[in-house]
Structure 1
Amino acid sequence: MGAKGFCQKFDDLAQTPPMGWNSWNKFACDVNEELIRETADAMVASGMKDAGYEYIIIDDCWHGERDEKGFIHANKEKFPSGMKALVDYVHSKGLKFGIYSDAGWQTCGGKPGSRGREYQDAQTYAEWGVDYLKYDWCNTEGLKAEGAYLTMRDALYEAGKPIVLSICEWGDNQPWEWAEDIGHLWRTTGDIYPCWDCEEDHGDWSSWGILRILDMQKGLRNYAGPGHWNDPDMLEVGNGMSTSEDRAHFTMWCMIAAPLIAGNDLRNMNETTRAILTNKDVISINQDRLGVQAFKYSEDDGLEVWVKPLANDEWAVTFLNRSEQERKIDFNWKDHPFEDPDFSYKVDFNNAQYKLYDVWKHTSMGSTQKELEASLPSHDVLTLRLKS
């Protein structure tokens, strides 16, 4: 029995933050089966599958019409082979398939939503072999978020196919307070936008740059852990920011144990983008089995220090330069004991020595016995793994 309702969520899923690709950031409604097949091929060929990415998620606008019994079908022009064949193709590559719907009458793109059809749609997704559902929050007048997502959770459970439930109501209803027993991840903010520090105003809503969304995560880390993650939205790596900004963006999402859902065109990304997205040393920080988000340890004139406890008494430390100028790092470890403000993890470097490993340069950086001195370019990061 679940904590609420007769059903429950599938508990053994998403024990580390989900990793995959979603069509929305790059392609919006311009989706079809050829794109999805080619993206699955590219995920394997690029080394992303080997790096841990597994979900190919088609976002809004795949929908056709409902039939006379109310069952949803894929758009026949965009998906002439049907959704089941596409799911089978993705599975044949050793990957998993994600789909999109909405708790309202219509999706954000004006397609048929799942309101009143939750059990039918869950049954359909299970029959297609879907592994992941992103469930949006447009056109939901009169609905309460917790109840609406509870209904879809129960519908998925009754359909019998383990499906990750990604709650996408943009953090409007504080899902971190109620969603642990309902979904496996929940959006904490409005949509992301590929800029370092900006607000993109759409009139009655806004999308946000990397730093804006990072700052919105304050106070949320104690709600997340294995099987239930804060989701600051998908990655914009490869979508137009500078290399250093892409690197910092990817690093910070790894540090805060965010889902790593790529949002670029995998079919023709350059080597720089591919190298960022497939850096296994950085990904291992995100996928650490402890499942604890980083906390901001200090900030001074645009230079922030973030600390993430890891399994086996290891730590990840990121120096983030938010500013427009290069910053000097002078960090005497023995003057900076770490004490997690929400959990019981702590270390005093007067009593413990760690080796330092630079996860972007893949090189040793000495140990905590010696003061760390470095120059950090604007909009960039230095990220170290501390190993005893």
Structure 2
Amino acid sequence: MGWNSWNAFGTKIDEQLVKDIADAFVNLGLKDVGYEYIVLDDGWMGMQRDAQGNFIPHPEKFPHGIKALADYIHSKGLKFGLYSCVGDKTCAGYPGSRGHEFQDALKFAEWGVDYLKYDWCYAGLMNAREAYTTMRDALYAAKRPVFFSLCEWGDNQPWEWAKEIGHSWRTTGDINNCFDGSKDRYGVVQIVNLRDQEKLRKAAGPSHWNDMDMMEIGNGGLSYFEEETHFALWAILASPLILGNDLRNISQETLNLIKNKDIIAVSQDSLGIQGFKYDTVQDNIEIWVRPLINNEWAICFSNRSDKPSELNFEWNGKNIKDNIYNYEISFSNDKAYKIRNLYSHKEMGKTNKVLKCKLEKNQSLMLRLYK
């Protein structure tokens, strides 16, 4: 859980901006609900390395250097993240880490880096597994604990090999500031549906997660209902909750959403099982579910039709089974579960009655079922 600079700012980052974001991060109470990382994405470095081959922070953007900034972030009780790339250049054309992996890892440790996002641009004919293993070994050798985030875009099926190398791996290309994107411009819907979620969820678990990219909540491209659904699906699918908006200018409505403790609890559930799509009912209402600790379940009803829909869901007789991890929940009128609405934080009765509500286009209903 944390914040990354890319979605809102691209390479237009500097020392004061990041300090201001860190201040807002704490003042808004994000640290108090579990967010902890401030991550600098592409564009923090200068265009050349020094005579010894070391990274040089961009002298105009970061005149006091990266360690001073990391120290400031740490003084706030937060963790500091940085970006690099497997190629000889980053995606934005700055120096990458190819051929400098162990040198860079030592520099990251010297600066106090706690999180490394490692991209896949200018990789040429490199083998992805070997390239990321090299940086993993470099981070180990530097002897500073670092969360290693593989940003390989899912091109080489990292869910099949990455859990021995890093803590999270991207499953798709970059997200865009929209809900319904296109084949080549991924919105929330494309990010969720591009890959076979059954294959992905087999690989996920505590300390190794499928990463559906930073969130676009608060960036103006989504309606509020779409932001709710975005947040709910990232929680159901156990994707890291990395914010990507300008925290200095955030609406109270959006702040309340990203601080929603009930949904955060689903995201951070200690059982550590990624959820899945259970069914599609009525007028294209998708049902996403996730087994939780203590035999509880999270359920998200998401209206994917292009018009409002009246949800009428009969619990009685339904049986939801996780065939991979062997969790199961069955509904009958004499064995009812309590229902909590995770958006309103209110109880909604039990599963012995038909669930009824109206869902606008792209709106969702996020529930927790418990005894």
TM-score grouping bracket, smaller chain normalisation = over 0.9
The alpha-carbon deviation at position 195 of structure 1 amounts to 1.1
1:211 corresponds to which of 180, 186, 189: 189
The alpha-carbon deviation at position 46 of structure 1 amounts to 0.9
Which residue matches 2:17?
A: 35
Cα distance in 1 for residues equivalent to 2:249 and 2:289: 34
2:203 corresponds to which of 213, 223, 234: 223
Alignment of 1:319-358 (within 5 A): 319-350=301-332, 352-358=335-341
1:141 corresponds to which of 95, 106, 124: 124
Alignment of 1:296-307 (within 5 A): 296-300=277-281, 301-307=283-289
SS at match of 1:198: coil
| 1:263 to 2:255 alignment | no
- Letter of the 1:92 partner, please give it: S
Cα distance in 1 for residues equivalent to 2:233 and 2:187: 13
| 1:273 to 2:251 alignment | no
Cα distance in 1 for residues equivalent to 2:251 and 2:310: 30
Which residue matches 2:160?
A: 177
Which residue matches 1:74?
A: 57
Deviates more, 1:159-168 or 1:297-306: 297-306
The alpha-carbon deviation at position 355 of structure 1 amounts to 0.7
- Letter of the 1:281 partner, please give it: D
SS at match of 1:122: helix
Alignment of 1:151-170 (within 5 A): 151-170=134-153
The alpha-carbon deviation at position 370 of structure 1 amounts to 1.5
Which residue matches 2:81?
A: 98
| 1:45 to 2:23 alignment | no
The alpha-carbon deviation at position 368 of structure 1 amounts to 1.2
The alpha-carbon deviation at position 142 of structure 1 amounts to 2.2
The alpha-carbon deviation at position 347 of structure 1 amounts to 1.4
2:295 corresponds to which of 313, 333, 337: 313
The alpha-carbon deviation at position 292 of structure 1 amounts to 1.0
- Letter of the 1:110 partner, please give it: G
Cα distance in 2 for residues equivalent to 1:384 and 1:288: 14
The count of corresponding residues between Structure 1 and Structure 2 is 365
SS at match of 1:268: coil
Q: Where does the alignment leave 5 or more consecutive residues of structure 1 unmatched?
A: 1-18, 201-205
Aligned identity (percent) is 52
- Letter of the 2:185 partner, please give it: S
| 1:235 to 2:215 alignment | yes
Task: Tell me the TM-score normalized by structure 2.
Answer: 0.97
| 1:20 to 2:28 alignment | no
The alpha-carbon deviation at position 199 of structure 1 amounts to 2.2
Which residue matches 1:188?
A: 171
Higher relative contact order (CA 8 A, sep 6+): 1
The alpha-carbon deviation at position 216 of structure 1 amounts to 2.0
SS at match of 1:114: coil
SS at match of 1:356: strand
Stretches of 4+ aligned residues off by more than 3 angstroms:
none
Per-residue CA distance 1:49-69 (angstroms, 9 max, x = gap) = 111110000000100231111
Deviates more, 1:126-135 or 1:333-342: 333-342
The alpha-carbon deviation at position 337 of structure 1 amounts to 1.0
2:114 corresponds to which of 105, 125, 131: 131
Cα distance in 2 for residues equivalent to 1:62 and 1:183: 23
Q: Where does the alignment leave 5 or more consecutive residues of structure 2 unmatched?
A: none
